[in-house]
């Protein structure tokens, strides 16, 4: 077990109103100096992005586009996004975007035939069918950040929506901890953009390598306007995630009952789902580890992924019912309900008809689940040797 010594982290998130077009070689905003206290600030209008002075040279910002190294999606997808009408399904794999259609995965390129040059971790589609991408970076085990991009689906333009920095300030004499910022760090956990273009950034102040996590959220619109950050839950020993209900103006997240309740004076309702009150077949479910989740706009139910299944939850009673797959039992099989098998689900998305699209990372596949629970495979990486 690694010992913990208190460490401070400082971060700054800047989301600009009116996107700022980037060109290759543009560098992130200067990181704050260690003497500053932890602050969160927002830029109300576009501003130039100076060369950072806190980062020693050489510091190279990846190009927006580069020559493509492969045409075929052979690695596991780790995110999935779908248009509202369900006609366009996209997978994020090895930091590239692929359109999934007719059993094929087509690599997206710009008009010059080049692929993305930076490395996005998250992919979302807004109601206009545009992409929101998040990339992150780590420099010399001291600085970590995430940059948020907007782009048309044909890559005709790429614009920066904001830049998030974390400056690690190490006080520990323990060399192992000093070289491992994950012991105590702050990082972007998730970006969630429901189809109404209201967006949320979720970040995690991680202590002791994930034993305790403090989650906060920043609401923003997809044109760059932001609101103040809100602490959702502190010192949480499990992971949480977020899902927004446009119809009820409610943001859901997972917590424990003994935690400090979130504030009530926000422009939307904050609704914790308590782990202690989750039930399946009217019995308490203590071994529940939620992953990605979304709100079914037709029923108001929460659709939640576990590693090998999708469940429905009534957010009022917190009763869950297994919808597709089986808890613990992994595998690869199409079918209806409990007949289907998944392996390490990492992301899901919904279209307006209520179809669920799943990044089945362990099976290197994109799966589709219809409203009656029927599972089919839209695409699977062709080579079994392609490890997730």
Cα–Cα distance, 111 to 153 (Å, whole number): 12
Give me the mean pLDDT over the 177-182 stretch. Answer: 51
Give me the mean pLDDT over the 29-42 stretch. Answer: 31
Give yes or no for a contact between 362 and 77, defined as CB atoms under 8 angstroms apart.
no
Neighbours of 82 (CB within 10 A): 22
Cα–Cα distance, 20 to 224 (Å, whole number): 10
Q: How many domains does the chain have?
A: 1
* 326 occurs within a structural domain: yes
* 52 occurs within a structural domain: no
Cα–Cα distance, 280 to 262 (Å, whole number): 26
Cα–Cα distance, 218 to 104 (Å, whole number): 36
- Output the CA angle 43-44-45, nearest 5 degrees: 95
Q: What backbone torsions phi and psi does residue 210 show, to the nearest 5 degrees?
A: 105, 0
Mean pLDDT is lowest, of 14-28, 37-51, 95-109, 176-190, for 37-51
Chain mean pLDDT for the chain: 77
| Res. 42: pLDDT tops 60 | no
Give me the mean pLDDT over the 87-96 stretch. Answer: 94
Residue 285: what pLDDT?
Answer: 83
* 279 occurs within a structural domain: yes
Q: Which domain holds residue 78?
A: 8-25+71-380
Give yes or no for a contact between 52 and 27, defined as CB atoms under 8 angstroms apart.
yes
| Res. 166: pLDDT tops 70 | no
Cα–Cα distance, 282 to 305 (Å, whole number): 20
Residue 387: what pLDDT?
Answer: 47
* 47 occurs within a structural domain: no
Burial class (CB in 10 A: 0-12, 13-18, 19+), 386: middle
Give yes or no for a contact between 299 and 311, defined as CB atoms under 8 angstroms apart.
no
**Is residue 45 very low, low, confident or very high in pLDDT (cuts 50, 70, 90)?**
very low
Condensed to tens digits (0 to 9), the pLDDT of residues 190-242 reads 778 776 567 888 888 877 655 788 888 878 765 555 567 788 998 888 888 99
* 237 occurs within a structural domain: yes
Of these ranges, 5-9, 14-18, 78-82, 280-284, the one predicted with the greatest mean pLDDT is 78-82
Q: Pick the closest to residue 76 from 94, 101, 96, 88 (CA basis).
A: 94
Give yes or no for a contact between 219 and 199, defined as CB atoms under 8 angstroms apart.
yes
* 355 occurs within a structural domain: yes
Cα–Cα distance, 41 to 65 (Å, whole number): 30
- Output the CA angle 339-344-350, nearest 5 degrees: 75
Q: What's the CATH number where 15 sits?
A: 2.120.10.30
Condensed to tens digits (0 to 9), the pLDDT of residues 244-296 reads 998 899 999 999 988 988 888 888 899 999 999 999 988 888 788 899 999 99
Residue 201: what pLDDT?
Answer: 80
* 49 occurs within a structural domain: no
Residue 344: what pLDDT?
Answer: 93
Condensed to tens digits (0 to 9), the pLDDT of residues 305-322 reads 999 999 999 999 999 999
* 51 occurs within a structural domain: no
């Amino acid at each position: 077990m690694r010992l913990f010594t208190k460490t401070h982290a400082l971060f700054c998130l800047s989301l600009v109103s009116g996107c700022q077009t980037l060109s290759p070689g543009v560098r992130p905003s200067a990181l704050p100096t260690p003497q500053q206290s932890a602050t969160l600030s927002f830029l109300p209008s576009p501003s130039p992005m100076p060369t950072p002075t806190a980062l020693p040279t050489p510091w190279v910002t990846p190009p927006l586009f580069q020559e493509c190294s492969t045409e075929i999606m052979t690695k596991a997808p780790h995110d999935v996004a779908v248009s509202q009408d369900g006609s366009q399904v996209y997978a994020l794999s090895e930091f590239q975007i692929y359109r999934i259609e007719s059993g094929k995965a087509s690599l997206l390129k710009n008009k010059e035939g080049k692929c993305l040059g930076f490395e996005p971790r998250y992919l979302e589609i807004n109601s206009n069918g545009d992409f929101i991408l998040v990339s992150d970076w780590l420099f010399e085990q001291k600085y970590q950040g995430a940059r948020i991009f907007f782009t048309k689906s044909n890559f005709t333009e790429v614009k920066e929506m904001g830049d998030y920095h974390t400056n690690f300030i190490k006080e520990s004499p323990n060399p192992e901890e000093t070289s491992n910022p994950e012991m105590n760090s702050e990082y972007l956990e998730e970006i969630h953009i429901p189809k109404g273009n209201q967006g949320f950034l979720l970040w995690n102040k991680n202590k002791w390598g994930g034993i305790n996590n403090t989650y906060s959220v920043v609401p923003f619109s997809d044109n760059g306007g932001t609101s103040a950050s809100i602490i959702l839950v502190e010192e949480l020993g499990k992971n949480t995630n977020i899902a927004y209900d446009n119809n009820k103006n409610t943001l859901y997240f997972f917590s424990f009952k003994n935690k400090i309740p979130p504030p009530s004076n926000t422009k939307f309702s904050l609704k914790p789902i308590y782990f202690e009150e989750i039930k399946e077949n009217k019995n308490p479910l203590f071994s529940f580890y939620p992953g990605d989740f979304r709100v079914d706009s037709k029923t108001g139910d929460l659709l939640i992924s576990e590693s090998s299944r999708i469940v429905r939850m009534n957010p009022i009673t917190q009763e869950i019912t297994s919808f597709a797959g089986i808890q613990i039992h992994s595998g690869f099989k199409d079918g209806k309900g409990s007949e289907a098998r998944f392996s390490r689900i990492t992301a899901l998305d919904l279209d307006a008809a209520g179809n669920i699209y799943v990044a089945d990372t362990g099976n290197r596949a994109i799966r589709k689940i219809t409203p009656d629970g029927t599972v089919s495979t839209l695409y699977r990486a062709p080579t079994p040797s392609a490890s997730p």
